Amino acid sequence: MTTLGDVSFWYSDIGLPRTRRPALSGDAEADVVIVGAGYTGLWTAYYLKALDPGLRVTVLEKHFAGYGASGRNGGWLSGGFAWNHERYAEMAGAPAVRRMVQAMMGTVDEVIAVAEAEGIDADIRRCDELMVATNDAQRQRLSDEVKHRAKWGEQGRVFSIDADAVSERVRIPEAKGGMIVTGTARIQPAKLVRGLAEAVERRGVTIHEGTEVTRIVSGAAHTATGILRAPVVLRCTEGFTATLPGYRRTWLPLNSAQIATEPLAPEIWERIGWDGHEILGDFDHTYCYCQRTREGRITVGARGVPYRFGSQLDRDGTPDAETVRRLTAILHRHFPAARKARIDHAWCGVLGVPRDWCATVGLGADGIGWAGGYVGVGVSTSNLAGRTLADLALGRRTELTGLPWVNRRVREWEPEPLRWLGVHGMYRLYDIADRRERAGGPPSALARFGNRLTGRE
């Protein structure tokens, strides 16, 4: 039997929290209020206390720390720059974008260093990222991607390998080549977010769980059980942001879903290879992302239903049957040796997508700050965001606060049904493009058209 939802497989692994931290009861005051106890909120709290141990920092969380994408993701700690370099460069110039690429690359070491210092066991394993091209069109995209990333400062760590070199690492039947990114790592997401929550509490941060913020205003966060006043209020709700009044069209909640197999027998692993435990994906337009877990399962992630009308959210990560079928088909295509493996768990979650598909972090003159819109690369980015938000909140002008994503303002998404039509249109075009390319066609222009439809390109 496949478990559906229950937040994520990662919580089946470590157990859902049995109790909640106390909710906010009555009005209170703090120096900084953080809304949302995912990686972004917790990293921000962590660095605030590291910079100013006496600061009163309170985190308000609707469910429990790690309920959102931070406890559900694919565990890729990639340090990758996932957004449109040129868009940032238009306003800030190319050297500033290169500085941000370097800062992103540094997040992997930083997360690992803090995890070690705080005694957080998150199954962290340093490994390469391997993106596999499975047809000629994808091979072309791979080669373009390597050049593009080298141009923006990743030349030292990104390179391509041929089909034989891929199969020395992992046997994927259709592989025609691969892109390697060094300096990345695999994690168990829920272990990281749980450990981080405990680490910030040890530093004196208060976390109230079961406390939904109903309104953010200058100087306060309102909840049903009290108002928490503070000169600085930070919105760290990423994919959930559309549920907050005033922010309904700020970031679109895009869905991503995953499955986890049962632990595979050693003879199956022998057929698959994958001894390097690379974080592994493909070059489909509707790309997948996989990991080999601590105990020898395969997780496969990809888009299912890309977006729900009116920015609605899933219920505790429960995916639909078609999504599970699609993910299982990807598993069987890339890892035929695991065809008979039981699917133990399937789940989904939301990530935040801004109108220009570029992540931002900032603090307004009204004392309201934010970070997010990571477009699916938030495990490492949230760490950079947390360090940057902490600097902004304390009024520090640092190298981080000078990066081009800081205080970048982006227009809102369109009202429905345009949002739904745009995103579903884009993914429909991706599907057609992938099918044509799989049949031997050249890189499809349809996908680019799809990207333009939603402002991705």
Ligand X SMILES: Cc1cc2nc3c(=O)[nH]c(=O)nc-3n(C[C@H](O)[C@H](O)[C@H](O)COP(=O)(O)OP(=O)(O)OC[C@H]3O[C@@H](n4cnc5c(N)ncnc54)[C@H](O)[C@@H]3O)c2cc1C
Q: Which residues contact ligand X by CB under 6 A? A: 35-41, 60-63, 67-70, 72-76, 78, 212-213, 236-240, 243-244, 256, 258, 289, 301, 348-351, 372, 374, 376-380, 382
Contact between residue 328 and residue 376 where contact means Cβ atoms under 8 Å apart? no
In the complex, least distance from residue 271 CB atom to ligand X, rounded to whole angstroms: 25
Tokens coding 92: 């800030």
- Closer of 63 and 125 to ligand X (Cβ): 63
Pairing of strands 226-229, 220-223: antiparallel
Q: Which residues contact 117 (CB under 8 A, 6 or more apart)?
A: none
Q: Is the peptide bond before 443 cis (omega within 30 degrees of 0)?
A: no
- Closer of 81 and 139 to ligand X (Cβ): 81
- Closer of 40 and 138 to ligand X (Cβ): 40
What residues pair up with 147 in beta bridges, in sequence order? none
The edge-to-edge listing of strands for the beta sheet with 213-217 is 28-29, 226-229, 220-223, 213-217
Q: What's CA 330's distance to the chain center, in Å?
A: 20
Contact between residue 143 and residue 158 where contact means Cβ atoms under 8 Å apart? no
- Closer of 217 and 432 to ligand X (Cβ): 217
- Closer of 215 and 271 to ligand X (Cβ): 215
- Closer of 135 and 380 to ligand X (Cβ): 380
In the complex, least distance from residue 97 CB atom to ligand X, rounded to whole angstroms: 19
In the complex, least distance from residue 444 CB atom to ligand X, rounded to whole angstroms: 25
In the complex, least distance from residue 279 CB atom to ligand X, rounded to whole angstroms: 7
In the complex, least distance from residue 95 CB atom to ligand X, rounded to whole angstroms: 25
In the complex, least distance from residue 317 CB atom to ligand X, rounded to whole angstroms: 8
What residues pair up with 362 in beta bridges, in sequence order? 370
Q: Which residues contact 126 (CB under 8 A, 6 or more apart)?
A: 112, 183, 184, 185
Q: Is 85 helix (H, G, I), strand (E, B) or coil?
A: helix
In the complex, least distance from residue 96 CB atom to ligand X, rounded to whole angstroms: 22
Q: Is 31 helix (H, G, I), strand (E, B) or coil?
A: coil
Q: What's CA 404's distance to the chain center, in Å?
A: 20
In the complex, least distance from residue 421 CB atom to ligand X, rounded to whole angstroms: 22
Which among 191, 210, 233 has a CA at the least distance from the CA of 33? 233
- Closer of 282 and 437 to ligand X (Cβ): 282
- Closer of 139 and 194 to ligand X (Cβ): 194
Distance of alpha carbon 188 from alpha carbon 180, whole angstroms: 21
In the complex, least distance from residue 138 CB atom to ligand X, rounded to whole angstroms: 20
Phi and psi for 411 in degrees, rounded to 5?
-70, 165
- Closer of 178 and 372 to ligand X (Cβ): 372
In the complex, least distance from residue 382 CB atom to ligand X, rounded to whole angstroms: 5
Compute, in degrees rounded to 10, the torsion defined by CA atoms 243, 248, 250, 251.
50
Residue 267 to residues 171, 264, 270, 338, 367, Cα–Cα distance (Å): 14, 8, 5, 10, 57
- Closer of 367 and 376 to ligand X (Cβ): 376
Distance of alpha carbon 49 from alpha carbon 390, whole angstroms: 9
Residue 438, burial from CB neighbour count under 10 angstroms (0-12, 13-18, 19+):
middle
Return the residue nearest ligand X (CB atom): 378
